[in-house]
Amino acid sequence: MASLYNHYSDIRRVLQKVLVMFSIFTLCASLFYLLAGCCNSLPLDAVDSIAVKQSPQLFYKTYGKSFEKNVSNCTNGMLAPAPFITSLEGTSASESENNHPGKDWTAVRRLPQALILGVKKGGTRALLEFLRLHPDIRALGSEPHFFDRHYSRGMNWYRSMMPKALDGQIVMEKTPRYFVTAETPARIHSMSKDIKLIVVVRDPITRAISDYTQIISKTHNIPSFETLTFKNRTIGQIDSLWSPIWIGLYAQHLEKWLAYFPLSQIHFVHGERLISDPAGELGKVQDFLGLQRIITDKHFYFNKTKGFPCLKKPEGSSKPHCLGKTKGRTHPKIDTEVIKKLKDFYHPHNLKFYQMAGQDFGWQ
Ligand SMILES: Nc1ncnc2c1ncn2[C@@H]1O[C@H](COP(=O)(O)OS(=O)(=O)O)[C@@H](OP(=O)(O)O)[C@H]1O
């Protein structure tokens, strides 16, 4: 009888152990499932690389709570480890979307509310890169050339090119050729009557030389700037249809825009001041866009080697950043007589432009 009792109590002990082990296993499995599930629910698609890189403040402002909650659940209440955020930075918007189909997206692709129209070689890249520091701006990095070259692709294509943006963020892009393409004002107007337009203007002579410098960097055996400037050098007749010269006829191009948009909807950035005082010019652009002045002096430093202002610390990066080698090239030395002829040529056009724009840019 006693041995039978011992036998039963052995079986009970084994069963108890099995039960405890099973409970621990179930608990672990549930915990694992819970953690995996909650990590997946993080709105990664809304948090594409640029959102984190470009606007950590806004990203945190918008996703802060859910991000913190999800991350803290996933990391047992510890802060998200840095590699987690870094790995997001390396993920493109589309990769991120493909990895997380069918999620509840807060950020959406919208048509732009602001455009940098030009001018070519005016400093449009610098302006765009500087504006990207602002948490309330989402800007397309490349030039989509929608209104000049790809209009037949339609608005849905154009919208699909835009970065995702949250409510309240301004979507923008830059295509410097828009300013001089005759069809663009009407096309842009038919997309949005209230769109904000930005034009970076620079002394048309320096702009033309910059344009020419780019041309010779791409193609060999191009005649000299001096040769191309004239239709007839003997009588000093300027070739106003040569693209580097023609683009600088700002008044002529602006006229086409003013047929569709009031001047108050167009903001001119002073190209020379964008180099000498980037924070000052950026302050005015932020005002024009109705944004808080977040980009200030503290974001820039003057890089003596480059000869241009650079970013101390672009968002999402710890290193200072200057624009690439194609921005800030050394210009060829141009015959002073030719410069003089160009000054005389542009003088009336510049005066007309100052009058139309309502400001004197001081090009002599
Ligand atoms: N911060 C900074 N760094 C480098 N370059 C700067 C900067 N700010 C303005 N710029 C001037 O921008 C000129 C190029 O203009 P864009 O960016 O409009 O050129 S482009 O039309 O997109 O090709 C470029 O022209 P080049 O000097 O002829 O290369 C610069 O003079």
240-295: per-residue pLDDT in tens? 999 999 999 999 999 999 999 999 999 999 999 999 999 999 999 999 999 999 99
192-201: per-residue pLDDT in tens? 999 999 999 9
Torsion angle (degrees, nearest 10) of CA 244, 115, 286, 257:
70
Q: What is the DSSP secondary structure assignment for residue 163, as one 8-state letter? A: P
Q: Provide the CA 92 distance to its chain's centre, in angstroms.
A: 14
Q: What is the DSSP secondary structure assignment for residue 264, as one 8-state letter? A: G
CA of 327 to the centre of ligand 1 (A): 5
Residue whose CA lies nearest to ligand 1 atom number 1: 309
Residue 210 CA, closest ligand 1 atom number: 28
Map residue 216 onto helix, strand or coil: helix
Q: Looking at the predicted complex, does its ipTM rise above 0.90?
A: yes
Q: Does ligand 1 lie within 6 Å of residue 174's CB atom?
A: no
Average pLDDT over residues 339-360: 98
Task: Indicate the length of the chain as a whole number.
Answer: 364
Residue 313's pLDDT band, with cuts at 50, 70 and 90, is: confident
Which residue ranges make up each domain of the chain? 2-99, 110-357
Q: Does ligand 1 lie within 6 Å of residue 124's CB atom?
A: yes
Strands 308-311 and 300-303: antiparallel
Considering the domain 110-357, what is its CATH architecture?
Answer: 3-Layer(aba) Sandwich (3.40)
pLDDT computed for residue 349 by the predictor: 98
Share of the chain above pLDDT 90, in %: 68
CA of 271 to the centre of ligand 1 (A): 9
